[in-house]
């Protein structure tokens, strides 16, 4: 019998969440973000599940894009950070990939290259995130440089990324949006602005394209949920089983360092999942776990291959009892808060040794 830990991937939920992204912005096209293996869910499987819905996909690197092409994905694929070396341009050209340009050296390389057909290019504005992109006072000159090279570049868009679209305090978001709007009006440019939180909460940021990412996988990216984010469905459910049960007397401890001490006679369920599988080692005592559908607290430090749960209040629990670590019935965002992290790190951190089991998506 194999180890009972598995990541169930509900492709029907993925399609539901993509539809929700489209419903929030019916005048925009939604580019489904599949970087980091579709946030740990499996990029090829998720791309295939969305192939009849999404007009384009987005990834972080050429390697990710080529893997999708090799799997038969034919939609446009955007490289969100552009290329990292000019030597990537022949493959970008051959696979008809779209690129983001954010630095002068990229513009120089792009304009020195002779593509078989002009390359779809989106020029990135640093409107306040201060990672990639051209400052507002630099942007127009770069835009005009690309506009003057129709043999090299086509379908030029203005693109930016919001730093605080998820926040309850909107002042900085509005500053970024005002910066973008001033340039858009002056250049008459199509735009791609909205990430997941802006897609869900800021219709004024909906552009010609939006870029839903983490919301596709069922995580709520907003500091304060709204009706739309509350309708997201979890795509990944991390499941396991209890593989042993220990009876502890009052005062006995559990796990490395004896962090948790039994306050009363306690039953402890040992679960086949640990930080070697991607479960966060920083999970605090009290992090919720579902045991046969009932909430129970994690106790003691997470080990590489196991974690321990206080099942004293779940008397029916025993060896073989079903465990949900996050997903259906237990939001990954709640688990992440108990680990002092965010859902992204949990999703993308699920180890390759954890089998993914895919539920076939509906096609309605």
Q: CB burial class (10 A; 0-12, 13-18, 19+) of residue 316?
A: exposed
- Helix (H, G, I), strand (E, B), or coil: what is residue 67? helix
Q: How far is CA 245 from the centre of its chain?
A: 35
CB neighbours (10 Å) of residue 6?
Answer: 17
Q: Of 18, 35, 39, 217, which is the active-site residue?
A: 35
Tokens of 329: 């019935």
- Planar angle of CA 110, 113, 119, nearest 5 degrees: 60
The two structure tokens encoding residue 2: 């194999």
State how far the Cα of 10 lies from the Cα of 86, in Å rounded to an integer: 38
Closest CA to 327 of 95, 1, 10, 4: 10
- Nearest CA-CA partner of 280 in 218, 221, 240, 325: 325
Contacts of 93 (CB under 8 A, 6+ apart): 113, 115, 116, 117, 119
Rg (CA), the chain: 23
Catalytic annotation present for 18: no
- DSSP lists the bridge partners of residue 157 as 122
Which residues sit opposite 6 in a β-bridge?
239
Distance CA 260, CA 267 (A): 13
DSSP characters over 335-356: HHHHTTS-HHHHHHH--TTS-E
Tokens in use for 270? 């040992």
Q: Is 301 a catalytic residue?
A: no
Place of tokens 């839903």: 212
Alpha carbon separation from 8 to 67, 242, 253, 335 (Å, rounded): 22, 17, 33, 17
- Point out the catalytic residue in the list 18, 39, 256, 358: 256
Give the integer Cα–Cα distance in Å for 20 and 226: 13
Catalytic residues: 35, 256
């Amino acid at each position: 019998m194999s180890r009972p830990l598995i990541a169930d991937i509900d492709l029907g939920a993925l399609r539901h969440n993509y539809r929700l992204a489209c419903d929030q912005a019916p005048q925009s096209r939604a580019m489904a973000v599949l970087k980091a293996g579709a946030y740990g869910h499996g990029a090829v499987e998720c791309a295939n599940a969305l192939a009849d819905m999404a007009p384009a996909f987005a990834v972080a690197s050429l390697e990710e894009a080529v893997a999708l092409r090799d799997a038969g994905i034919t939609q446009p694929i955007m490289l969100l950070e552009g290329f990292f070396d000019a030597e990537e341009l022949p493959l970008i050209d051959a696979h008809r990939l779209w690129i983001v340009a954010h630095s002068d050296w990229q513009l120089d390389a792009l304009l020195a290259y002779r593509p078989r057909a002009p390359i779809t290019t989106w020029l990135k504005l640093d409107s306040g995130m201060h990672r990639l992109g051209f400052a507002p006072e630099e942007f127009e000159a770069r835009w005009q440089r690309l506009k003057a090279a129709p043999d090299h570049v086509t379908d030029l868009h203005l693109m930016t990324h919001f730093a605080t679209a998820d926040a309850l305090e909107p002042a900085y978001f509005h500053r970024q949006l005002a910066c973008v709007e001033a340039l858009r009006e002056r250049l008459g440019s199509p735009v791609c602005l909205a990430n997941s939180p802006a897609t869900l909460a800021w219709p004024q940021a909906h552009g010609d394209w939006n870029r839903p990412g983490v919301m596709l996988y069922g995580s709520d990216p907003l500091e304060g949920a709204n009706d739309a984010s509350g309708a997201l469905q979890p795509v990944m459910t991390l499941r396991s089983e209890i593989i042993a049960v220990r009876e502890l007397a009052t005062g006995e401890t559990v796990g490395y360092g004896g962090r948790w001490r039994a306050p009363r006679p306690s039953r402890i369920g040992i679960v086949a999942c640990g930080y070697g599988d991607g479960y966060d080692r920083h999970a605090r005592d009290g992090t919720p776990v579902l045991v046969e559908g009932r909430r129970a607290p994690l106790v003691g430090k997470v080990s590489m291959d196991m974690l321990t749960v206080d099942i004293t209040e779940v008397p029916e629990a025993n060896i073989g009892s079903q465990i949900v670590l996050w997903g259906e019935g237990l939001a990954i965002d709640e688990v992440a808060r108990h680990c002092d992290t965010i859902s992204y790190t949990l999703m993308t951190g699920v180890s390759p040794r954890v089998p993914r089991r895919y539920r076939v998506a509906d096609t309605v």
